[in-house]
Amino acid sequence: MAEIVLPQLGETVTEGTITRWFKQPGEFVEENEPLYEVSTDKVDTEVPADSAGQVAEILVAEGETVEVGTLLAKLHQKDAGGAGDAEGAARDAEVTPESGLSPPEVARAAPSTAPEPTAQPAQAAPEPVARAAAATPVISTPTAITPATLVPASPVVRRLLRKHGLDPTAIQGTGPKGRITRKDVEAAIAGVSQRGSVGSLQSEATAGGAAAASAAASSAAAGDTAVASTALESNIVPLSRIRLATAEHMLRSKATSPHVLTAVEVDFENVEKVRQAHRAEWKQEEGFSLTYLPFIARAVCDALDDYPHINASIEGENLLVHRSINLAVAVDLDFQGLLAPVLRGAEDLRLRAIARKVVDLSRRARAKKLSPDELTGGTFTLTNPGQWGTMMQFPIINQPQVAILSTDGIKRKPVVVTDADGGESIAIHSVGVLALAWDHRAFDGAYVAAFLDELRKIIQVRNWEEELA
């Protein structure tokens, strides 16, 4: 019997929400076939089965949020002949015919029998305020919300509830089994903000007498007009889960590392000549275009070998210098967020192998086909906004790393070239900027400048024809 547990899905991830089971008790799953989908603060990902077998029991139902390491399911592994113990698996699963759920799921899905709290009598509120209160979720302080009072919700939804001081028991969930979704919370927040002024104005009217009431009523009417006008002129676009998670991680990175930016201009003409000479053949052989990125990645690996402290991370009061280069490459998810899948052992790969792996990781990232370990363990990150013609970007460090390189737009520009006799002339070359954001705790500017100078030299003088062979 194999045990399926929630894996570590990132250095800072502590929990995940099971959003979908692809297999049910009694069904067979092959090795590396998707078994379930999990949602975390960083990404939604499909997790494949480590081995082939028959699902015996599902212990965590869809919609539940559990900690890393939690036992999710049990699997009857196939025997040597590959058949598996189907009858034993079916017995262990004990699927109930009414619901299709195993006993633990039925227990979790059962409605609570706890008595509802008895409401205390309260003084009747003025009619406008009473109407607004009836349509508005109950507000409490963030400290009043505890795990014991939270209804089922994802980590992002829990943070929204805490941030805005919302009582989750006062919100009607529209998700599976009454689960509170992000849209439910955002609707509650919008309702509170639009109605909050009504009670305030009513209080002012009561305290200030007839004259104050008249002024408050006029102000309320003007406020309603302003709200209606704003609603007509603007679209409310709720931040997605991945946007909220990105915001949290970026703020933490800025608060953790003293960021510095150092940039150099690089003449890519040596690379451009090789690209132009081989682009058609490359596209036919590989099925994708030969871009600048694999050239830069290959050069980065050699430069990091000479300046290893940049391939490092901060651990307490120590700099942890990594022997292997695990290159994280930022991938845009159709403008909906970023992932940085990791190319492990990049120092041992030549240009063609790097290009293949980067394309493979990018495609699977967009298709949610990455395995959990492909999103962890990066030691240095590349981000590539240059495809949109950027001049220079100041990226934010991917914690706990100490540096991230932005590869910006490469354009044809006039440059000064020197011939063998020392004579100078103007030529048109492909030129771009490489910008390194780095953590000033780890080293100083001189070390970074020397690293970037070495990187520039490698790109400009290496025999790239030989590299492609």
CB 357 within 8 A of CB 348: no
The tokens describing 19, both together, are 């959003």
Query: 440 catalytic, yes or no?
Result: yes
CB 415 within 8 A of CB 432: no
- Amino acid identity, position 376: T
Do the strands 53-58 and 71-77 form a parallel or antiparallel pair, or are they unpaired?
antiparallel
Rounded Cα distance, 55 and 101, in Å: 12
Rounded Cα distance, 33 and 35, in Å: 6
Rounded Cα distance, 307 and 436, in Å: 14
Nearest CA-CA partner of 464 in 325, 349, 327, 299: 299
Catalytic residue among 224, 305, 440, 453: 440
Burial degree of 156 (CB within 10 A; 0-12, 13-18, 19+): buried
CB 66 within 8 A of CB 16: yes
Asked if residue 176 has a cis previous peptide bond (ω within 30° of 0), the answer is: no
Rounded Cα distance, 222 and 339, in Å: 45
Nearest CA-CA partner of 437 in 294, 245, 250, 301: 250
Backbone φ, ψ for residue 342 (5° rounding): -110, 130
Catalytic residue among 79, 305, 373, 444: 444
Query: 50 catalytic, yes or no?
Result: no
∠114-100-369 over CA atoms, to 5°?
105
Half-sphere exposure of 273 (CA within 13 A, CB side): 12
The tokens describing 449, both together, are 């400048």
Residues forming a β-bridge with 55: 75
Do the strands 15-21 and 65-67 form a parallel or antiparallel pair, or are they unpaired?
antiparallel
Q: DSSP 3-state assignment of 328?
A: strand
Return the number of other C-beta atoms located less than 10 Å from residue 300's C-beta: 26
Nearest CA-CA partner of 346 in 315, 377, 390, 314: 377
Q: Which residues are catalytic?
A: 440, 444
